[in-house]
Amino acid sequence: MIPPLTLCRFFCALLLALLPSAAMAHPIPDLPVHGIFQTGGKALIRVDVNPRCFDEDPTTATSLTRIVFENISPERKTELLKAADELIKREIEFYLEPAGRIHPEFTFEFSGEAGRPLETDESVVVISAKWSTQLQAEATGWSVRSSPSNKLAVVFENEVNGTPHPRVAVLFPNERSYTLDLTALMGAPAQNATLGSVPALGGSGHIASTMWSFGKQGFGHVIPEGLDHILFVLGVFLLARGWKPLLLQVSAFTVAHSVTLALVTLGRFNASPKIIQPLIAATIALVAFENIWKPVYSPRRLLFIFGFGLVHGIGFASGLNPQGSILAALGGFNLGVEAGQIAVILIALVLTGWLRDADLYRRYVTIPGSALIGLTGVYWTIERLVH
C-alpha cells in the first residue's frame, strides 16, 4: 500500500515536471491529404502543411498568422516552402494502382487553412502543396501511407465530381489508408478494382470505419496531447469519487462540449484561440480551487461544469476539421474524447481507490492535488494571455 504522503508527493512531482512544457500546448496539427477526382481521370492532389509541423515540438509552437507572415523575409518564405516539400516527401507515401508508389511533383503556395482566404490578421497561414495530373486509363486505385517516423496524423480525404467522399481515414505512424477505387471514373471494368478497395461512385460510406479513424484522433486529443483537458477531468474527479456525483459531472461536461464541438465543426460558431485557450486554463483553476473552498459536492456545481464544458468543446474542435462525413467524424471524435476522459478517471481510481478514509483522502489527495492543479491553471492562464 502506498502511503498517502508519498502519493501526494508523486502527483506534485508529476505536475511540476509537465507544467513548463504544456503551458502553451496546442493540438498537434494534422497533415490533410485531399484527393480531388473527376470522371475521365482529371485529378488534383493537395496537402496542407501548417508551419508548426516543422517545430521539434508542434504542441508548443505558435501558428503562422497573416500579420506575421506579411513581415517575414522572402528568404524565410522560401525556406518554409522547402521545408514543406521535405516534410511531405519524408512523412507521406502516395500510391496509384497498379503502378504502386508514386512521387507527385507538387507546386507550393501559401494559403489559408482548408483553402480559406486570409481575411484577418489572425488568419492562420499554411503551405498548400498541389499536384494536378491526368490519370492514365489503367489507373485503378488511390491510397496513401503515413511513414513509421511520422509524428503527425495524416487525414486522407477525397472528393469525387464535386462531392466529398463519405469515407475518411485518420492515419497514425506506419498506417495505410483504404484504397479509393478509381475504375468507375476511368471507365474501366469493375473487375479491375483493387481487392478491398472502396468505390469512388455509388459505394458504401463505411461510417463505422470513418468513426473509428476519428475516434482514435479524439482519444489522442485527450491522451497524450490534452494535458489541460486531463487536469480538468482530474479536478472534477478529486472532489467526489462517488459514482453518482462523478457520473453527473462527467455527463454535464460531455453534453456541453459536444454542443460547442458540433457548432464549431459545422461552422455555426467560432472564437479566437487567443480567447479560448486562456479561458480553458481559467476553468482548470476554478474547478480545482472550488474543491478546496467547497469540501462537499452540491448539484450547483453542475452548472459550472456545464459552462466550462462549452469552453472546452471549442478547444476540442481545433483538432477536428473534416471536409466530408461530418456527422461520422463528429460522432467518432466525440466518442474518442469520451474514451480518453474515462481512461483518465479509471487511472485516477486505480491510483487512489485504496485510500478509503475520506479525511485522509481530502488531506493528502484532494487539497494538495487541487492546489497544484489550480496553480497550474493560473500559470497557464497568464502565459496564454501574454503570448
**Exposed, middle or buried: residue 203 (CB in 10 Å: 0-12, 13-18, 19+)?**
middle
Is the pTM higher than 0.75?
A: no
CA distances from 367 to 283, 286, 297, 354 (A): 17, 14, 14, 18
Q: What is the DSSP letter of 65?
A: B
Confidence of residue 36 (pLDDT cuts 50, 70, 90): very high
Question: DSSP 3-state helix, strand, coil percentages of the chain (rounded to 5)?
Answer: 50, 15, 30
User: Are the C-beta atoms of 144 and 171 separated by less than 8 Å?
Assistant: yes
Q: Angle 234-173-325 (CA atoms, 0-180°, nearest 5)?
A: 75
Q: Which helix (H) or strand (E) holds 296?
A: none
Q: Answer with the residue of higher pLDDT: 125 or 10.
A: 125
CA distances from 142 to 34, 105, 191 (A): 11, 16, 16
Confidence of residue 119 (pLDDT cuts 50, 70, 90): confident
Identify the pLDDT of residue 87.
94
**Average pLDDT over every residue of 35-55:** 92
Q: Answer with the residue of higher pLDDT: 16 or 382.
A: 382
Calpha distance 23→385 (Å, rounded): 11
Chain-centre distance for alpha carbon 244: 30
C-alpha cell at position 207: 461510417
Task: State what percent of residues in the chain have pLDDT above 70.
Answer: 85
Calpha distance 241→219 (Å, rounded): 23
Calpha distance 320→247 (Å, rounded): 26
**Average pLDDT over every residue of 238-264:** 86
Q: Which helix (H) or strand (E) holds 11?
A: helix 4-22
User: Are the C-beta atoms of 93 and 101 separated by less than 8 Å?
Assistant: yes
C-alpha cell at position 167: 469515407
Q: Is pLDDT at 46 greater than 80 in this prediction?
A: yes
Identify the pLDDT of residue 325.
65
Confidence of residue 152 (pLDDT cuts 50, 70, 90): confident
Q: Is pLDDT at 321 greater than 90 in this prediction?
A: no
